[in-house]
DNA sequence: TGGTCATATAACCATATAGTTAAACTATTG
DNA sequence: CAATAGTTTAACTATATGGTTATATGACCA
């Protein structure tokens, strides 16, 4: 049985996603599957140590997992849910949309 | 047509949700509908000015809206999507679950 | 075993964030 | 119009965060 996470744990997930670089990482992982750090560095164009620190944040909050393969470390999105939510938000942009709820996310989620 | 938000705008939404108090606010708004500030203060047990500042963050990122009614200001969840995602995450707790994706969020979200 | 590549960690600094207190609005009531 | 209630804003301080540089770890190869 899964014990319900505390609000602190939950908000830590949001916080982890609350940085442009980390969000880009999640988008890349979500759209292309597991990639190694150097690949992320190449695509995002940040310093390697910066990416590495961001990955550590994502990993510590359970958003991604990692596995070592030879010299490389491959990161994979664990919280596919997050990617779905991002896609959801992208359609319901910040200020332009009057709409409240994203139907494609809503489904069996209404039970308390 | 809605223009796709930038990754900065998107991450700002996550960042806004990335604080325990703000997440509590969203949970309350999501589960009970619009409430006034004093109600939130009562339920959460923070200083009123602190709540007010958190509400400003949520509002500026488009997560909630507000309307004045007499002396009170009522806040309402605009991004129902966020509440769904929270519920989703609650079922797929941080470390305990091996599962990757929350089916109740996933649906028509896969198209880029 | 020494060198090199991919990644992670440590130390440091500048900036952002959150909480607190005090003061300012704003709308209602008398 | 004064007093009051609900809410917001401003100013301040302590702490957290993010980026940078330098260094460490760990795996592969000569």
pLDDT at B2: 58
Concatenating the DSSP letter of every residue in A7-23 gives HHHHHHHHHHH-SHHHH
pLDDT over threshold 90, residue B105? no
Residue-wise pLDDT tens digits, A5-47: 899 999 999 999 999 999 999 999 999 999 999 999 999 999 9
In angstroms, the separation between the Cα of residue A70 and the nearest Cα of chain B is 24
**CATH code, domain carrying B29:** 1.10.10.10
- Copy the structure tokens of residue A23: 């969000």
Give domain status of residue B2, yes or no. no
| Mean pLDDT value across residues A47-54 | 97
CB contact under 8 Å between B101 and A84, yes or no, is yes
Choose between A80 and A96: higher pLDDT. A80
Nearest partner of A59 among A6, A17, A5, judged by Cα = A17
Q: What's the number of domains chain A is made of?
A: 1
Give domain status of residue A46, yes or no. yes
Give domain status of residue B106, yes or no. no
Give domain status of residue B63, yes or no. yes
pLDDT over threshold 80, residue B23? yes
Instruction: Tell me which chain B residues have a C-beta less than 8 angstroms from the C-beta of A9.
Output: 93-94
Give domain status of residue B91, yes or no. no
> What pTM value is reported for the model?
0.85
Can you tell me the distance from the alpha carbon of A17 to that of A23, in angstroms, rounded to the nearest whole number?
A: 5
Of B102, B103, B111, which to mutate for an interface test with A (greatest number of A Cβ within 10 Å)?
Answer: B102
Give domain status of residue B104, yes or no. no
Enumerate the nucleotides of strand C whose atoms come under 7 Å of any protein CB: 5-10, 17-23, 26-28
């Amino acid at each position: 049985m899964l014990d319900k996470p505390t609000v602190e744990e939950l908000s830590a997930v949001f916080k982890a996603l609350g940085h442009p670089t980390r969000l880009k990482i999640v988008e890349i992982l979500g759209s292309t599957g597991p990639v190694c750090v150097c690949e992320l560095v190449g695509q995002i164009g940040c310093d390697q140590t910066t990416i590495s620190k961001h990955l550590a944040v994502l990993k510590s909050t359970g958003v991604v997992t990692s596995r070592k393969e030879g010299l490389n470390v491959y990161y994979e999105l664990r919280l596919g849910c997050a990617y779905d939510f991002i896609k959801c938000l992208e359609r319901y942009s910040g200020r332009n949309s009057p709409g409240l709820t994203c139907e494609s996310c809503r489904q069996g989620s209404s039970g308390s």
